Amino acid sequence: MHKIEIACFNLESALVAVKAGADRIELCDDYFSGGVTPREEIIIQALEKISIPLFIMIRPRGGNFVYSESEFRLMKSQIILCKEKKIDGIVFGVLDKKNYVDKAKCKELIDLAKPMSATFHRAFDETEDSFQSLEDVIECGFARILTSGKQPVAIDGAAVISEFIKKSGDRIIIMPGGGVRGENISELLKTKATEFHSSAINKTTSDIDEDEIRKMKRMLSK
């Protein structure tokens, strides 16, 4: 069964996404930075109002994915909060100064997060060696990778996404994200992906588009 995860940058958008049939919510803050960790009160409100799986972005700031020790400590405290609140999953990625997966830090966060599911986010697309990074992420214990196939949008990276899926087999879920829309999701199905990620933003109003989510769901159900 195919699933669609919707990235939401406020609680109102998350509620719209649930109504439209999203299978999972990735809750973040600050759309223009690509997403950072939402405030604790927003996380608690989301838990009270959302019945489908809820994943929380663990990212202390925008910019690169090489974090200072104080930022890393903040990430750990954010994960502990999510674990205490029984959040379903978290979304994060840590790179080293050479843009390889920082396995030591990622493993530490994965161990801290258990039993929550963990997604390695699009920091993956900034790594130097994609196929080595694929193995590193699997070794760390992530459940899935969010990727646009090293391109700004997933449809342009579809061939690479297909290769990631072939290489990973059943060891990890490869989830296309980045410009995923109703108009291209059927093409992305050809990669053999089973989960897809979209912010489903209305290009005119910048609000979440309920019709866009419904369209993607229809395409996935064909």
pLDDT tens column, 25-59:
999 999 888 899 999 999 999 999 999 999 999 99
Question: In the prediction, which pLDDT does 197 show?
Answer: 98
| Sole residue written with tokens 């604790």 | 40
Instruction: Please compute the mean of the pLDDT values over residues 167-174 and round it to a whole number.
Output: 97
The rounded mean pLDDT for the chain is 96
Instruction: Please compute the mean of the pLDDT values over residues 112-126 and round it to a whole number.
Output: 97
Lowest-confidence range among 30-44, 91-105, 195-209? 195-209
* CATH number for 120: 3.20.20.380
Question: In the prediction, which pLDDT does 204 show?
Answer: 75
Question: In the prediction, which pLDDT does 207 show?
Answer: 82
Percent of residues in the chain assigned helix, strand, coil, to nearest 5: 45, 20, 35
**Distance from C-alpha of 130 to C-alpha of 124, rounded to nearest angstrom:** 7
Question: In the prediction, which pLDDT does 32 show?
Answer: 87
Burial of 29 (0-12, 13-18, 19+ CB in 10 A): middle
Burial of 10 (0-12, 13-18, 19+ CB in 10 A): middle
Length of the chain in residues, anyone?
222
**In the structure, what pLDDT confidence band is assigned to residue 104 with cuts at 50, 70 and 90?**
very high
pLDDT at 205 over 90: no
Question: In the prediction, which pLDDT does 20 show?
Answer: 97
Cβ atoms of 101 and 147 within 8 Å: the answer is no
pLDDT at 99 over 90: yes
Pairing type for strands 173-176 and 144-147 reads parallel
Cβ atoms of 205 and 31 within 8 Å: the answer is no
* Domain limits for position 58: 3-221
Cβ atoms of 198 and 6 within 8 Å: the answer is yes
Pairing type for strands 54-57 and 24-27 reads parallel
* Strands ordered across the beta sheet of 117-120: 173-176, 144-147, 117-120, 89-92, 54-57, 24-27, 3-8, 195-198
- Cα separation values, 76 from 83, 128, 138, 172, 208, Å: 10, 25, 20, 23, 30
Number of domains in the chain: 1
